Amino acid sequence: MRNKKSELRNPKSEIRKPDLSVDFAGIRFKNPVLTASGTFGYGEEYADFVDLNKLGGLIVKGVSLKPIKGNPAPRIWETPSGMLNAIGLENPGVEVFIKKKMPYLRKFDTAVIVNVFGYSSEEYVGVVERLDNVPGVSGLEVNISCPNVKAGGMAFGTDVKATFELLSLVRKATKLPLIAKLSPNVTDVTEFARAARDAGCNGLSLINTLLGMAIDVTCRKPRLANCTGGLSGPAIRPVAVRMVWQTAKAVSLPIIGMGGIVTAEDALEFILAGASAVAVGTANFVNPRATLDVVEGIESFMFEQSIPSIRDVVGKVATA
């Protein structure tokens, strides 16, 4: 798995140009590599490092109906092969997103998926309705890992019934392709995948962060002001690959796989497990070009193995 461009021109390869394009729930990605929500801002923040036209798609930072300030600091803590974050879904709100962020994103020939969330089903429906006819929005990714404030604070995405009810309401509020982003903090992720399918979602994203905690033993305080946070990065990758594999066997919806992807080889693990596309998250903080390295590495792999289309790899893990 090498990334150098010169090696892409493998003279022995039986194919001239591998086809990396993906049709995902009616959205065309020119390659299967997207940015994971919350780790790439609204694209502009990374534009000095990455030609956004070369990405398969951009999943932007979560957007809510009203602006949210987020949690107090410290909000990030590095852990072995990963990080804990408790940003608290800070964002400027949907109106500012539409007026200030979308005009920039529309300049690129890259699919834009808007990640949405709320603290009540009304808030979810409100933000989704507002985005429904906004030019340049290709689809919506619904982050269901938010506490349902009205129902005592349990996350929508850890209760199958609440997941189904929320996604059914959101479905009625938009014609855009809907991608449900599933939480890994559940016993059986496939129950939630079925609930999303039954509610009318067109695709799935998995996984979101795993709930974690770290403690400073000297002052006996949690490392994060919020006490707990979401664990991401390579530490969670085997959990994520397993969940994608289980989900791909359980439902026929297309999947965006994510969780600890750093290299093309990591991304290919997800694709072999059944993901049609992948998203790179925490790796962007270490290497801002990580997404493009992954695209080039996948293309290199396809040349080396004479694979005509990335679609030929999806779900092709050889299990007994």
Ligand X SMILES: Cc1cc2nc3c(=O)[nH]c(=O)nc-3n(C[C@H](O)[C@H](O)[C@H](O)COP(=O)(O)O)c2cc1C
Binding site for ligand X (CB under 6 A): 36-39, 61-62, 85, 87, 89, 115, 143, 181, 208-209, 232-233, 236, 258-261, 280-282
Instruction: Please tell me the number of Cα atoms within 13 Å of 306 on its side-chain side.
Output: 5
Q: Which is nearer to ligand X, 130 or 307 (CB)?
A: 130
Instruction: State both tokens at 72.
Output: 């107090």
Instruction: Give the integer Cα–Cα distance in Å for 286 and 310.
Output: 26
Q: Which is nearer to ligand X, 57 or 259 (CB)?
A: 259
Residue from 306, 303, 294, 300 nearest 269 by CA = 294
Q: In the bound complex, what is the minimum distance in angstroms from residue 136's beta carbon to ligand X? A: 19
Q: Which is nearer to ligand X, 125 or 307 (CB)?
A: 125
Residue type, 307: I
Q: In the bound complex, what is the minimum distance in angstroms from residue 82's beta carbon to ligand X? A: 7
Q: Which residues pair with residue 279 across a beta bridge?
A: 34, 258
Residue 97: count other Cβ atoms within 10 Å of its Cβ: 25
Q: In the bound complex, what is the minimum distance in angstroms from residue 33's beta carbon to ligand X? A: 12
Q: In the bound complex, what is the minimum distance in angstroms from residue 90's beta carbon to ligand X? A: 9
Catalytic annotation present for 146: yes
Q: In the bound complex, what is the minimum distance in angstroms from residue 164's beta carbon to ligand X? A: 19
List 146, 201, 219, 227, catalytic entry: 146
Instruction: Give the integer Cα–Cα distance in Å for 83 and 124.
Output: 28
Residue 319: count other Cβ atoms within 10 Å of its Cβ: 7
Instruction: State both tokens at 210.
Output: 């795993």
Q: Which is nearer to ligand X, 36 or 264 (CB)?
A: 36
Q: Which is nearer to ligand X, 18 or 139 (CB)?
A: 139
- As a 3-state breakdown, the chain gives helix, strand, coil percent values, each rounded to 5, of 35, 20, 45
Look at the block and give the residue holding tokens 């079925």: 194
Residue 23: count other Cβ atoms within 10 Å of its Cβ: 11
The residues annotated as belonging to the active site are 146
